[in-house]
Amino acid sequence: MAEQTIEHAQPLTVLAEDEAIFRDAVREFADAQVRPLVREMDEHAKIPRSLVDQLFDLGVMAIEIPEAYGGAGASFFHAVLAVEELSRVDPSVGVLVDVQNTLVVNALMRWGNDDIKRRYLTRLASNTVGAYALSEAGSGSDAFALATRAKEDGEHYVITGRKLWITNGNEADIFLVFATINPEAGYRGITAFVVERGVAGFTVGKKEDKLGIRASSTCELIFEDCRVPKSNVLGEVGKGYKSAIETLNEGRIGIGAQMIGLAAGALDHTIRYTKERKQFGKAIAEFQAVQHQIARAAMDVEAARLTVYNAARLRDAGKPFLTEAAICKILSSEVAERVASLAVNLFGGNGFVKEYPVEKLFRDAKIGQIYEGTSNLQLQTIAKQILG
Ligand SMILES: Cc1cc2nc3c(=O)[nH]c(=O)nc-3n(C[C@H](O)[C@H](O)[C@H](O)COP(=O)(O)OP(=O)(O)OC[C@H]3O[C@@H](n4cnc5c(N)ncnc54)[C@H](O)[C@@H]3O)c2cc1C
């Protein structure tokens, strides 16, 4: 107990030995294996399967899955470190790993019975990508106004409807799908189902052509009388809203991690470039105006990182973290936008062209304020918590 107290009193950014080793391994991987592909992945709007396989080999696709199911049996904080380090190089790869861990695996671990865990966690730990399908055309911020319907039919539910904006839609083989069994019951009708790619009546539709995180696939899902066995209901019928809310509360910390990674990556590029680029006979990093801008960006990244790590550590400690998660998501996404924007400015004309890495990060940053609850919705959560 005494030891635990000391551990919790550590500075937030001091990593345990296993965390530091893990972070360094992911950083090394991101630099060596992801960085050379970033531009091509953005151009072709695709993450190659070979890279996804490498992510499985690295052990970042099943971070919290217990070893008994083939996972790493590590903590949520480890997932945050992985998402941060990958996003430092490519936020598209960061979000692929984020959705797998903080949403899909997280929900299955928390709400899955033994049968679901045995059938799906083992696959998610070995080679199968997951996706999390809540949003629809008419149901974004109003997340439980779902039109996708699941009707009971003997030992099955029959799902009909369309999901929009689903990350990992192209890569995934396992989809966590939220549908209502009774629209009149409002949120109390929402039920979560595990649906496999290839099942009759389920197709992955068009992929969105996006401003940023272009390599991350964002797809429509179409369900036409798709029969899903009752054994694939995740948690209780009518309690899907609870699993959705709880996983998204945690998922938000993952988006915070993606955004601090992005901001740190943009800052790295900026430091390197401003030391090299000469104007008026000296490196532009020697001008005090530039130094102050870089110092401010470093300050922003540090502050945002502290909120992300704090929320993640609170979650792992089993303490309330709702407000902290919302704060970390807003702050990190705003910081990512600011720092990436500064990077473009300080790269000058080179900041505006694809040959240099920062215009992509500037485009990528925007999504942090939109998905997994827009900034307005996060502010609403914070206000509700503090105003009562
Ligand atoms: C690239 C990408 C990937 C995504 N991945 C996934 C995924 O994997 N799974 C998934 O289920 N969804 C996913 N989404 C969907 C995403 O979560 C939604 O787009 C987001 O929640 C916003 O919903 P919306 O687009 O319908 O916007 P809207 O809800 O229509 O919001 C539009 C604007 O209105 C504001 N607004 C709405 N309601 C209020 C209110 N009550 N008070 C104040 N302001 C309000 C919002 O803040 C926003 O600025 C993804 C989206 C994108 C773009």
pLDDT at 9 over 90: no
User: What is the pLDDT at residue 7?
Assistant: 55
The reply to whether ligand 1 has any atom less than 6 angstroms from the CB of 103 is no
pTM score, two decimals? 0.97
pLDDT at 5 over 90: no
From the number of C-beta atoms within 10 Å of its C-beta (0-12, 13-18, 19+), residue 18 rates as: exposed
User: What is the pLDDT at residue 367?
Assistant: 98
Is 372 known to be catalytic?
Answer: yes
Rounded distance, CA 68 to CA 80, Å? Answer: 22
Using the mean position of ligand 1's atoms as its centre, give its distance from the Cα of residue 127 in Å.
Answer: 30
For residues 284 and 292, the answer to whether their CB atoms sit within 8 Å is no
Stretch 171-183: mean pLDDT:
97
Whole-number average pLDDT of the chain: 96
Stretch 326-340: mean pLDDT:
98
Rounded distance, CA 164 to CA 58, Å? Answer: 30
User: What is the pLDDT at residue 290?
Assistant: 98
Residue type, 55: L
CA pseudo-torsion sign 30, 36, 39, 44:
negative
Q: What is the pLDDT of residues 85-98, one digit of tens each?
A: 999 999 999 999 99
Using the mean position of ligand 1's atoms as its centre, give its distance from the Cα of residue 74 in Å.
Answer: 31
User: What is the pLDDT at residue 2?
Assistant: 43
pLDDT at 376 over 60: yes
Q: What is the pLDDT of residues 138-162, one digit of tens each?
A: 999 999 999 999 999 999 999 999 9
Distance of CA 337 to the CA centre of its chain: 17
Residue by residue, DSSP assigns 171-215 as: TEEEEEEEEES-GGGGGGGEEEEEEETT-TTEEEEEEP--SS-TT
Compute how many other C-beta atoms are within 10 angstroms of the C-beta atom of residue 217: 24
User: What is the pLDDT at residue 1?
Assistant: 42
Q: What is the pLDDT of residues 30-65, one digit of tens each?
A: 999 999 999 999 999 999 999 999 999 999 999 999
Rounded distance, CA 371 to CA 212, Å? Answer: 12
What is the band of 8 on the pLDDT scale with cuts at 50, 70, 90? Answer: low
Using the mean position of ligand 1's atoms as its centre, give its distance from the Cα of residue 371 in Å.
Answer: 6
What is the band of 10 on the pLDDT scale with cuts at 50, 70, 90? Answer: confident
From the number of C-beta atoms within 10 Å of its C-beta (0-12, 13-18, 19+), residue 115 rates as: exposed
The reply to whether ligand 1 has any atom less than 6 angstroms from the CB of 164 is no
Q: What is the pLDDT of residues 249-289, one digit of tens each?
A: 999 999 999 999 999 999 999 999 999 999 999 999 999 99
Q: What percent of the chain has pLDDT over 90?
A: 97
Mutate to test the pocket of ligand 1, among 165, 218, 219, 377 (most ligand atoms within 8 A of CB): 165
Stretch 330-352: mean pLDDT:
98
The reply to whether ligand 1 has any atom less than 6 angstroms from the CB of 135 is yes
Residue type, 77: F
The reply to whether ligand 1 has any atom less than 6 angstroms from the CB of 367 is yes
Compute how many other C-beta atoms are within 10 angstroms of the C-beta atom of residue 59: 18
